[in-house]
Amino acid sequence: MPRSHRVAVLGGGSFGTVIANLVACNGHRVCLWGRNAGTVAAINARHENAEYLPGYRLDDKLRATTVLEDAVSDIDILCVAVPSASFRAIVRTLAPLVGPGTLLVSLTKGIEAGGFQLMSEILREEMPHNPCAVLSGPNLAGEIAAGHVTGTVVASDSDAINTTLHDLLHSDRFLVYASRDMYGVELGGALKNVYAILAGLGAALAFGENTIGMLLTRSLAEMSRFAVQMGANPLTFLGLAGVGDLFVTCSSPLSRNYRIGYAVGKGEPLEAVLAGMDQVAEGINTLALLKAEADHRGVSMPLVNGLYGILHQQRPVSEIFSDMMSSEQARDVEFAVG
């Protein structure tokens, strides 16, 4: 029989809520931490996070709290689903509250501003004595809540950890796959947010299907080109955390990043679009960080350059294609033999 776990999930948004509920539905004790006292009280009283997932019934074994010490008391697995901008501060607060045997799992798809550190790197810096893992993939929270079959990837440097997380989360509607390329899985989850903005922009401007197909595949080439420079395995980008996540977020209005691109493409100012969103869209922050890092490393990323110019330098959309025609590498598949 699989072991019963005591789990905390930090972050009361849509994704943190569905992951906490999956854990509870699999028979584990789980506490969801959130900042909003009204949302927490409603979860405990009505078993629903009406702010982010109205109508989604939460398991009775899931409880919520606004008190961090309460959430992480007597746990053996801690999942962190807070925005990247507050990730380090929260993890630093956690460090003295969590024992060294507690498994840390990042659910956040983002990159820390002021450098180029992924969430797992922050976990290792702030809590170096704890094992850690990441979870990523084409995981739109609304579809998970609706019961659509979903696949995800858990990644760590330990097969035993991957097996633990598989047993914790896997069900007939939520399929869990494993990887040893933790950096590549996490990087794919962060980078695809940038290209989802581009896809939304293209949808708003009625790009043709041929154009969308080209942009998607060139996006994948750019992602994997950059990731290899950072030490990731390019084959990771052929899986759920790469092409799977890229395709979903670049084709669904459920994606916050896609919605940003669509709104900008329809003429709305970027600042107004961001001000009207109820959850963080990580792609905007990632775009600036990715461009700076690519420029520093000399990695060719014409789509990133073009999108940055449109959002931050008032360049016309046609500049995306100008950059591609003038600077894109001519090779179609870069990491194939021959």
Q: Are 201 and 262 in contact (CB under 8 A)?
A: yes
Helix 256-265 to helix 282-297 angle (10° resolution) is 90
Give the integer Cα–Cα distance in Å for 204 and 321: 16
Helix 282-297 to helix 302-312 angle (10° resolution) is 130
Cβ burial of 182 (10 Å; 0-12, 13-18, 19+) is buried
Question: Token pair of 316, please?
Answer: 């016309």
Give the integer Cα–Cα distance in Å for 335 and 242: 15
Nearest to 141 by CA among 78, 52, 44, 77: 52
Catalytic residue among 61, 109, 192, 291: 192
Q: Which long-range contacts (CB under 8 A, 24 or more apart) does 124-131 make?
A: 126/88, 126/91, 126/92, 126/94, 126/95, 127/91, 127/94, 127/95, 127/98, 129/100, 130/98, 130/100, 130/101, 130/102, 130/103, 130/104, 131/103, 131/104, 131/156, 131/158, 131/161
Give the CA distances from residue 145 to residues 28, 29, 306, in Å, rounded to whole numbers and listed in that order.
18, 19, 35
Question: Token pair of 262, please?
Answer: 């669509």
Q: Active-site residue 109, yes or no?
A: no
Alpha carbons within 13 A on the beta-carbon side of 323: 19
Residues with a catalytic annotation lie at 192
